[in-house]
Amino acid sequence: MNLELRHLRVVCAIAETGSVTKAASALGLAQPALTAQLQRIERTLGGPLFDRDRRGARPTALGELVLARARVLLPAMKGLQDEAARLAGAGEVPRWYRFGGVNSPILGRLVHRLAAEQPPAQITTYASWSVDELAQLVAGGRLDFALTGVCGDAVPSAEFGLSWREVAVDPVLVLLPETHPLADSDEVRLVDLRHEQWVAAPGDGCFGDCFAAACARAGFTPRKVYETDVRGCVDLVDAGEAVALCQATFRSVAGLVTRRLAGIPLRWRLLLGWHPDSPAAQGAEVVLETAKSAYTDSLAPHPSYLAWLLRNPGFGVRQPSGV
């Protein structure tokens, strides 16, 4: 592993907070992920950087050396980026936006808003079912932002060093043919779908495991699960061959209905990710707020869900938080 600026930020955060747990919270990472990252850094540098016990984490001699260099390098690199941006005339917001998305329900509206607010901006999009592929492209500078989702309180892999922020959180719904016996219900119990076949879009995220765990909590194991693209999912549900899980802002399709799952056994968090060392990071907060507005725009065709959100403030766009 090559040492990068993000690794130096990790070391500084642990030293400043005196705790891996507190540093993980400050960086918006899960504590086990930060611990694993620290171990990789220590292997790269050839020794432990901190003595850790119940009182916290204190730098070793090697750790003090790394901290001394990091406290010089990090401000210097930030200064270089700021000066380069001023010289290039980039201002606070980059003139181009390169987005990658995983079945994102707001990508189109996000592009529309940015194009309307910044007519000179060059905007490109890239589609992939793989969250890791998108994260790797962002880390490598080939994309500026990734739009993806995770189930529950899960977080994307910390391997690529991206900053992730929540756009919104929704309950996961079930997609049924309107002739289904449960289609007239406002809510459907997951256990009442135990005899159904399922269909899902591909991906490398955690959702399959989350779905299996939710079914296990409901007392059953899901039957056959087909895997196909979104159009194939719609066709299989329309044919009565399967039912599907879907996002709350899923576009209406004639002959199909979406219904909430009773007790909300599954939640889906929509996230925006970028690399903190990239030029795009300067405009990330603007893009994040635009993404939240795009999500709000996506609610217009779903008045019943919008009314539900007003009664359930723990969903939708929530107070700012890290991931």
> What is the residue-wise DSSP string for 201-244?
---SSSHHHHHHHHHHHTT-----EEE--HHHHHHHHHTTS-EE
pLDDT of 88: 59
18 exposed, middle or buried (CB, 10 Å; 0-12, 13-18, 19+)?
Answer: middle
Same topology, domains 5-87 and 94-315? Answer is no
Average pLDDT value for residue range 255-261: 96
What CA–CA distance (Å, rounded) separates 267 from 247? 9
Which of residues 209 and 176 earns the better pLDDT score?
176
Class of domain 94-315: alpha beta
* Model confidence at 93: pLDDT above 60: no
Q: Is 299 helix (H, G, I), strand (E, B) or coil?
A: coil
Domain boundaries defined on the chain: 5-87, 94-315
249 residue type, one letter: T
What CA–CA distance (Å, rounded) separates 166 from 128? 20
pLDDT band, very low/low/confident/very high, at 50 (cuts 50, 70, 90): very high
What is the C-alpha radius of gyration for the chain, rounded to an integer number of angstroms?
22
Helix/strand/coil percent split, the chain, to 5: 40, 20, 35
What CA–CA distance (Å, rounded) separates 32 from 126? 31
What CA–CA distance (Å, rounded) separates 59 from 66? 9
Closest Cα to residue 74, out of 209, 276, 271? 276
State the fold for domain 5-87: Arc Repressor Mutant, subunit A (1.10.10)
Angle at CA 11, nearest 5°, toward 288 and 68?
120
pLDDT of 254: 95
Closest Cα to residue 71, out of 13, 32, 29? 13
pLDDT of 206: 63
What CA–CA distance (Å, rounded) separates 196 from 259? 15
* Model confidence at 17: pLDDT above 90: yes
For the segment 189-223, what is each residue's pLDDT rounded down to a tens digit?
Answer: 999 999 999 999 887 566 788 899 999 999 999 98
Average pLDDT value for residue range 219-233: 91
The mean pLDDT of the chain is 90
Half-sphere exposure of 265 (CA within 13 A, CB side): 21
pLDDT of 323: 62
49-63, 65-79, 253-267: which has the highest mean pLDDT? 253-267
Closest Cα to residue 110, out of 274, 287, 323, 251? 287
